[in-house]
Amino acid sequence: MNATFTRFDHSQADDWQEIDAHFRDYREGVVERVIAHLLRLEGDTHGYPVDRYTHCLQTATRAERAGADEETVVCALLHDIGDDLAPDNHAEIAAAILEPFVDPLNLWMIRHHELFQGYHYRHFYGLDRHARDDYRDHPAYARTVRFCDEWDQTSFDPDYDTLTLAHFRPALERVLGRPPFDGAGLPEVRDE
């Protein structure tokens, strides 16, 4: 059943109860949709040695093998998921997906990884490779440098023993299955 209003200012509580039930079902499927989107990165390498799907898996594999915690591994898995939808601003897509579920420092790391990764190529474009040093005093600086230097920029190796998506799926389900926004939970519709 759908809500009966045609504009929000005519809506009633029972409309929102109906919509809320749909929403709760829909958000349960977010892992499937995130995986479907990761799979869209498979195929075209855009000139790189591996496609972005492999790159994401490999970055997560390196993070896990280095002993990173599960949340950080999931951040690594999703960090470039926005490459096809926002090629000029891709980090924001991963940040938006992860924001309700991860530590603010990990969120900052994902949001800024593009600039930090640039240490390894910006000079080839005549840009300042040290631009990330402007953030040297930020509490997430060290983890973002590590993420890029040890796991992200190294993960373009077609011969690396990269773990499969199936390996990471349980971790993805656990992190995206957390109560959003530090346990604040979803508001309930009130019948008044």
Measure the N-to-C terminal CA separation of the chain; round to a whole number of Å.
21
Residue list 39-78, contact with Fe ion (CB under 5 A): none
The answer to whether residue 152 forms part of the interface with Fe ion (CB under 5 A) is yes
**In whole angstroms, how close is the CB of 61 to Fe ion at the nearest point?**
13
In angstroms, rounded to a whole number, what is the distance separating the alpha carbons of residues 113 and 101? 18
Complex with Fe ion: residue 11 or 154, whichever CB lies closer: 154
Q: What are phi and psi of 106, to 5 degrees?
A: -70, -35
Per the CB < 8 A criterion, the answer to whether 105 and 143 are in contact is yes
Instruction: Give the C-alpha separation, 84 to 192, whole Å.
Output: 44
Nearer Cβ to Fe ion (15/92): 92
Q: Which C-beta is closer to Fe ion: that of 64 or that of 80?
A: 80
**Shorter beta-carbon distance to Fe ion: residue 91 or 175:** 91
Q: How far is the CB of 36 from Fe ion (least distance, A)?
A: 20
Q: Are 94 and 83 within 8 A, CB to CB?
A: no
> Shortest Cβ distance from residue 59 to Fe ion (Å)?
6
The residue ranges that bind Fe ion (CB under 5 A) are: 80, 152
